[in-house]
Structure 1
Amino acid sequence: MSSYYSNTNIRQTFLRYTIPSVVAMLVSGLYQIVDGFFIGHFIGYEGLAGINLVWPVICLISAVGVMIGLGCGSLISINRGEGNLVTAKQTLFTGIALLFILGLLTVIVAYYISPIILKIQGTSEQTLLYGMQYAEICTLSAVFSICAAAMPLLIRNLESPKIATGLLIIGAAINIILDYLFIVQWQWGLQGAAIATVIAQLVVMVACLFYFFSSLSSLRLTLESITFSLNKAVKVIKLGLSTLVMYLYISFVVALHNWLFMKYGSPVDVGAFAIVGYLMSLYYLLAEGIAEGIQPPISYYFGANQVNNIENLLKLALKIVTISGIIWLLVLNIFPITIIGVFNDVDIELINKTQNGLRLHLILLFLDGFFVIAAVYFLAINQGAKSLMVSVGNMLVQIPFLILLPQWFGINGIWLALPLSNMVLFLIAAPMLWKDVKGRSKQGQTYALAKS
């Protein structure tokens, strides 16, 4: 089977898929970051704290979409690498159907558990009110959020990364314009921010559906050819399960941080954590964009048994995320006041607490990029269990630090839990990744000798 992957060198493949993917991730991240910008300036720290209380719920919703998007996308690319286009088309439709089936279930679950999640984090009455306003709209429209998270990933696996990126840019532009109208002009508060996000996601979802049934798609769906496969649905979920767990980990850890900041501090500390989270997410989105960009070609190379290409692409991705993580860390520490001022430049207490958080919380930021690449690598080569181990390990290692350190160091202990747990997890995950890559390389050499 002829494919773009097999006709270009590794660097060209990397650039062709990661650049649109990184742009797409950063643009999709603007949905929340732009909300934070408007809320921080026009509502204040209580608004920032309120929206941060909803982050665990948003992560739960996004988890379902990314799980299906990456799981289904990996299977599609593997099918294409093997030359099974009919199977790939069936996998695509099964994934799309899963988005709506699990999306409706997520609406029900998220709507009823969101008040509980917000309340157990512990907060002031006003902050809780802000959070409830935002959460109600986000949960009722969870289907749109899930589809908007997953469908661009599927389009990217159909060798249309520029189209996927373009759709996300359109969605982000709509969100920015509506945020300005709803929050600044019409003063709808957090409800306005949520409505703006939902409308933008709805537009992206509709545009993606049009793509799948149009001649633009390399696996064009028609009403006559679509079939749902329960077996493939199970495979999609199993393969994407590690991503689901990773997002659940983020959801749980954010909620635990919020609770601890309220226990040892105040809503101002939660607001500072929100800003640190936005700034951290810029790098995390970059790393995730690179990871999702290399996933389609790695899955294709895996299906085509091109082991050397897998190793070279992985090394290049790890080099880029490490260097970019160090650069972003330096920028944050050299210009903290200027960068924090993007979200709030008048509240001195909020600025000081945020600066302290940046200095402590993100000191080993680049290791998060390593974990993202490792998890998606294992997912791309159909090793969902190992990908799950990296994701679960990220959660399990951090919890003891979050429980113990605040008792000894207070607020600073909460900030330090992430870098210390990352250090421990790296000592476990790095050897596992190295062993897998080298073992696969030896298998490839044996296969090449046997073939010759």
Structure 2
Amino acid sequence: MEIKEINENKLQTILRFSVPSIIAMLLQTAITITDGYFTGNYVGENALAAINLGLPILYFYLGVGLCVGVGGSVICGRLLGAKDKQKASEVFSQTVVTAAVICILTSLAVFLLFSPILKVLRADGELSVYFTEYYRIMLVNYPLMVIGTILGMFIRADGKPQVCMLVSIVSCVLNAVLDYILVGRLAMGVQGSAVASLIVQVFAVIVQLGYFLKPSISIRFRRFSFDTAVNKETFFNGSSEFIGEMASAISMFAFNYVLMKYVGTEGVAAFTILGFAVYGYSMIAIGFGQGITPLISICWGAKEQKTAMELRRITNKILFIIGLIFAVFFFVFGKSYAGVFGCSGSVADMVSAGFRIYAVTFLFMGYDVINSMYFTSCGDALSSALISSLRGIVLLLAFTFIFPAIWGMTGVWLAAPTTEVLTAVVSAGLIMKQKKMIESR
């Protein structure tokens, strides 16, 4: 991708790189919702709640994947902008190997800590059984998911986001078919859902690995010696993404703890169902972020900072419009949406009430996500980490423990919107600070 091509039509370039990423991310969301549909309708609310209790484990793996993947792909993008394809390939190879080692060790550690985790979460009886059946299989699946995510980032950095989209389309269809067979027809319960996910991830990784065997691509697997400086920069560049996902893990753990304390299993189920919609919007935001990340890193590598800032502004405007559509839709049709998951009337009422408050989140979340990923692409990991820390740990955790103690379930719904609004104020200040710095040069 050349700077001249980016400057000629910024909106078209953003969409060309982002739309395939968004479709891929939405299809990943569709896989999650499909799993939720079959689990809720064929296994029950307790199974949904058990899966939700373990989501902090998923967020940790996502944090590793985004930290190593985004950090490595940003370095790779700058090297491609500087026309150094050999070093870019070495960075790619080291990134994949590093992520694989970390994830395998993590799975072994979590497997050994199952019992303490269940005790902390206060999960017993049926919840404990569902949790164990599902996550023992997912501990094999998650490392593959991380590798697949990282391979997709480098495929985008190579200028072929359409490949990721096609893999996601086939994966989504395959997952739905397998869920229907294993959960719906063979009644394998949560184990069937986990096995379906595992098969899909194996397929996705094999296909994406095949892409890098093509002779015509710019990035390929290459023999390398571990470069400590590259690893250090990778983790530094991706630190905000890791903080963001770890924050999601910590906040999810906190939400589950608070919900079990003040509301019970129905509250966890309601939060899970609403969470699918929020997850869907966040995937759109992350899809845009992944789409513009290689463009911005290339711009900075070529000393075209003003072009990078314009790409960010256009993307933020697009996401605000999409967020407004989400907010209006779920504000109006929240209860009907909840009914799709086969939940009880009381849970559907909780979800409907939640959307009336939570809708504000859609208006600000995209702004915060894009700005965080933008700063990462610029090499400003500190600003990116500040945004991620505020929206995922500092403000969110404080509001998660304070608001429910005062307002109960209403307080649970208020925590995230308040966090995103306040973070957006700080984020805007950081953007203005960078703008003044660039204009003063």
**Could you say whether these structures have the same fold, taking a TM-score greater than 0.5 normalized by the shorter chain as the test?**
yes
After TM superposition, list the pairs within 5 Å mapping 1:326-405 onto structure 2: 326-344=324-342, 347-394=344-391, 395-405=393-403
Displacement after TM superposition at 1:4 (Å): 7.8
TM-score (norm 2): 0.95
- Counterpart residue number, 1:205: 205
Cα gap change, 1:6 to 1:430, in 2 (>3 Å): closer
Q: Deviations over 1:78-100 (max 9, x none)?
A: 11112222221111111121122
> What is the CA distance between 1:273 and its match in structure 2?
0.4
2:429 is aligned to 431
State how far apart, in whole Å, the 1-side matches of 2:79 and 2:191 are.
Answer: 43
For residues 422 and 237 of structure 1, do their structure 2 counterparts lie closer, same or farther at Cα, with a shift above 3 Å needed? same
Residue in 2 that maps onto 1:41: 41
* In 2: Cα distance, 1:114 partner to 1:381 partner: 39
Give the distance between the partners of 1:5 and 1:204, measured in 2 at CA.
31
Is the 8 Å Cα contact of residues 123 and 267 (structure 1) preserved in structure 2? no
The answer to whether the 8 A contact 2:67-2:235 is kept is yes
What pairs up with 1:34-433 in 2 under 5 angstroms?
34-222=34-222, 225-344=223-342, 347-394=344-391, 395-433=393-431
Q: Percent of aligned positions with the same letter in both sequences? A: 25
**SS state at 1:335 partner:** helix
C-alpha offsets along residues 374-416 of structure 1, whole Å, 9 cap, x if unaligned? 1100110111121111111121111221121122111211221
Amino acid at match of 1:201: Q
* Shift, 1:441, TM fit: 4.0
Relative to structure 1, the CA distance from residue 167 to residue 115 in structure 2 (aligned partners, 3 Å threshold; closer, same or farther) is farther
Residues 400 and 221 (structure 1), Cα distance of their counterparts in 2 relative to 1, 3 Å cut: closer
| Distance in structure 2 (CA, Å) of the matches to 1:164 and 1:343 | 29
Please say which of residues 135-144 and 71-80 is displaced more in the overlay.
135-144
Which residues of structure 2 form unaligned runs of 5+?
none
* Gap change, CA 1:188 and 1:382, over 3 Å in 2: same
Structure 1 residues 138 and 260: CA distance shift in structure 2, 3 A: same
| Contact 2:330–2:359 (8 Å) recurs in 1 | no
Conserved? CA contact 1:70–1:154, under 8 Å: no
Q: Is the 8 A contact 2:49 2:127 kept in 1?
A: yes
Q: Give yes or no for contact 1:137–1:191 (8 Å, CA) kept in 2.
A: yes
* Counterpart AA for 1:17: F
Distance in 2 (alpha carbons) for counterparts of 1:376 and 1:98 = 21
Task: Give the TM-score normalised by structure 1.
Answer: 0.93
CA RMSD in angstroms comes to 1.8
Shift of 1:218: 2.0
What are the superposed Cα offsets for residues 295-331 of structure 1, whole Å, 9 maximum, x if unpaired?
0100000100112211110101110111111110100
Q: Hey, what's the Cα distance between the residues in 2 that align with 1:419 and 1:22?
A: 23
Partner SS state of residue 217, structure 1: coil
Structure 1 Cα separation of the partners of residues 199 and 409 of structure 2: 38
Taking a change above 3 Å as real, the CA distance of residues 343 and 419 of structure 1, as seen in their structure-2 partners, is: same
For 2:407 and 2:220, how far apart are their aligned partners in 1?
57
Aligned amino acid, residue 312 of structure 1: E
Deviation at 1:73, TM superposition (A): 1.0
1:5-39: per-residue Cα shift (whole Å, max 9, x none)?
A: 55742112111101111111111223322111111
Alignment check: 8 A CA contact 1:106 1:142 kept: no
1:182/1:188 contact within 8 Å kept: yes
State which drifts further: 240-249 or 407-416. Answer: 407-416
Rounded to whole Å, the distance in 2 between the matches of 1:298 and 1:33 is 32
**Which AA in structure 2 matches 1:34?**
T
Query: Partner of 1:450 in structure 2?
Result: none
1:221-269: per-residue Cα shift (whole Å, max 9, x none)? 35xx544433212221221111111101111111111111110111111
Aligned length: 440
Q: C-alpha distance in 1, partners of 2:394/2:298?
A: 32
